[in-house]
Structure 1
Amino acid sequence: MSYKTILVSLNEVGRLEQLVAAAVSLARGTGAHVSGLYVIPSVQVYPSVGFEAAPQVFEGNRTFFKDNAARVKQAFEEAMRREALPHDFHLLDARSPVIAEEVLAVGRCADLLVVSATNPDEITGVERDFVEQVIMSAGRPVIVLPYQGSAAISLDEIIVGWNGGREAARAAFDALPLLKKARKVRIVWVDPQKEPSLRGSAAGADLAETLARHGVKAEAQGYPTDGQDEGQALLRCADDTGAGLVVMGAYGHSRLAEFIFGGATRFVLTRMSRPVLMSH
């Protein structure tokens, strides 16, 4: 298994440099083709309220993304040519005001998606639940970059959050092309003492054994929460070890149009300090 197509969503314009750098780093490491995607959303139409006869139209997002389209395309293509990486760029003039819908439609045909977390202080930009929509609905692994800081991806050491669950298994094996490139992989089971079935066994050792057959240099360990949220403990472990990437399952479900995440997933998405690969 290897990644052949990486799709990078470039609509988080304030993180353009970091998004392009992440795509370059991943493509160099995997030999994948990089597709840059930039969406110009349609105008947002709101129903009338009160005695107004006409609906309200908001063009701010569309204008913002139209104004930045040329700069985004130039930055992406110059970086790809400079690194001699196979690439293409897609500029989509969408019929929908929801950028995530277009990213999902294109992203389901890619091996890996790269997006940035949304900046809560930004007024104009992608929708607030953009990352949640992509993770929950893409059916593909998604690397999320933090919305601040360098966001550099390093494969010197990767942490894999593991609890034996479906989402964790999906994430671990979706990340296999990167795990095989890593110098070291640390399989981390948070608070394994809370799982009765693990008594007398090393938490995560079975996954480490399977990954070793793929040539992955993995070791398994338990990690205490010390009263913290599981997601907080996982990020603390990454900080302690200097890991350049965290791999974890995304736990959650959709309720009508709202995505409800589990505590660990929600904490990591809002507090991440390094890139995180998530699968659902």
Structure 2
Amino acid sequence: MTYKTILVSLNEIGRLSESVAAAQSLARETGAHVSGLYVVPAVQVYPSVGFEAAPQVFEGNRSFFKDNVQRVKQVFEEAMQREGLSHDFHQIDARTPVIAEEVVAAGRVADVVIVSATNPDEITGVERDFVEQVVMALGRPVIVLPFKGKAELSLNEIVIGWDGGREAARATFDALPLLKKAAKVRVVRIDPQKDPNLRGSVAGADLAEALSRHGVKAEAQGYPTEGQDEGQALMRCAEDCGAALIVMGAYGHSRLAEFIFGGATRFVLNRMGCPVLMSH
């Protein structure tokens, strides 16, 4: 099993170089084809307010992304051509103002999708809950890059956040092509001492053993929260061991039109310091 098709979302223009570099790195490791996706959203139409008879139309986002099409395409294609990587570029003229909808539709035929987190302190034109929509609706593994700082996608060491749940299992085996190439993989159970069923055993040892049958160099360990959020502890563990990729399940549910993430998932998305592969 390996990845054959990588889709990289290019709409987070402030992180364009990081997104393209991550796709390059992953393609080099896997030999996969890279599809660059750039969405030009439809105009935003707001209902009329008060005595206004006509709805209000906002074209700012559409104009911004239309103006940057050629730049984005050039950056992506030049980067892929420099390394002789198989690639194509797709510009989609969206039917709605929601960029995530087009990324989800296109991403369902890819093996893995790369997106950048949106900076909550900036207005970038990409919807604030873009990552949540993509991760929850896609049905494919998603590699989320930090919205600031380093976004290098290194496979030197990978940390798996493991709790034995469905989402964690899905993420782990969705990440198998990367785990097999990693120099070292840590299966990390946060606060295993709090689960009476794990006393006297090494938490995650069964998963590490299963992964070893795939040729993964895995070891299991517990890791204490020390009063921190579980997501914060997982990131601290990755930082302590120098891991450049975290693999974890995305825990959440939809409530009306809003996606609600669990505490650890939300914390990691908001404060990640390295790329995170998530599956739901």
* Match in the other structure for 1:103: 103
* Match in the other structure for 1:25: 25
Q: Does 1:118 align with 2:121?
A: no
Indicate if the aligned counterparts of 2:158 and 2:245 stay in contact, CA closer than 8 A: yes
* Match in the other structure for 1:175: 175
Indicate if the aligned counterparts of 1:64 and 1:124 stay in contact, CA closer than 8 A: no
* Match in the other structure for 2:209: 209
> TM-score when scaled to structure 2?
0.99
Measure the CA separation in 1 of the matches of 2:124 and 2:145.
19
Indicate if the aligned counterparts of 1:40 and 1:93 stay in contact, CA closer than 8 A: yes
DSSP-derived class of the 1:115 partner? strand
* Match in the other structure for 2:83: 83
What amino acid sits opposite 2:52 in the alignment?
E
Measure the CA separation in 1 of the matches of 2:154 and 2:230.
23
Summarize the alignment of residues 120-199 of structure 1 with structure 2, pairs less than 5 Å apart: 120-199=120-199
* Match in the other structure for 1:57: 57
Measure the CA separation in 2 of the matches of 1:116 and 1:180.
24
> TM-score when scaled to structure 1?
0.99
Return the offset for 1:215: 0.1
What amino acid sits opposite 2:131 in the alignment?
V
* Number of aligned residue pairs: 280
Return the offset for 1:100: 0.4
Q: Does 1:227 align with 2:227?
A: yes
Return the offset for 1:95: 1.0
Q: Deviations over 1:104-158 (max 9, x none)?
A: 0000110000000001122241100000000000000000000001210110000
What amino acid sits opposite 2:116 in the alignment?
S
Q: Deviations over 1:32-67 (max 9, x none)?
A: 000000000000000000000100001110011001
Larger mean Cα displacement after TM superposition, 117-126 or 13-22: 117-126
DSSP-derived class of the 2:68 partner? helix
* Match in the other structure for 2:253: 253
Measure the CA separation in 2 of the matches of 1:161 and 1:124.
30
Measure the CA separation in 2 of the matches of 1:211 and 1:4.
21
Return the offset for 1:238: 0.7
Identity across matched positions, percent: 80
Indicate if the aligned counterparts of 2:203 and 2:221 stay in contact, CA closer than 8 A: yes
DSSP-derived class of the 1:147 partner? coil
DSSP-derived class of the 2:74 partner? helix
Measure the CA separation in 2 of the matches of 1:173 and 1:239.
23
What amino acid sits opposite 1:67 in the alignment?
D
Return the offset for 1:10: 0.2
Measure the CA separation in 1 of the matches of 2:6 and 2:51.
49
What amino acid sits opposite 1:71 in the alignment?
R
DSSP-derived class of the 1:50 partner? coil
Measure the CA separation in 2 of the matches of 1:11 and 1:121.
17
DSSP-derived class of the 2:180 partner? helix
Indicate if the aligned counterparts of 1:135 and 1:279 stay in contact, CA closer than 8 A: yes
DSSP-derived class of the 1:278 partner? strand
Measure the CA separation in 2 of the matches of 1:124 and 1:197.
46
* Match in the other structure for 2:276: 276
Indicate if the aligned counterparts of 2:150 and 2:273 stay in contact, CA closer than 8 A: no
Measure the CA separation in 2 of the matches of 1:240 and 1:206.
24
Q: Deviations over 1:168-227 (max 9, x none)?
A: 000000000000000000000000011111111110000000000000000000000001
Q: Which runs of 5+ in 2 are unaligned?
A: none
Indicate if the aligned counterparts of 1:37 and 1:90 stay in contact, CA closer than 8 A: yes
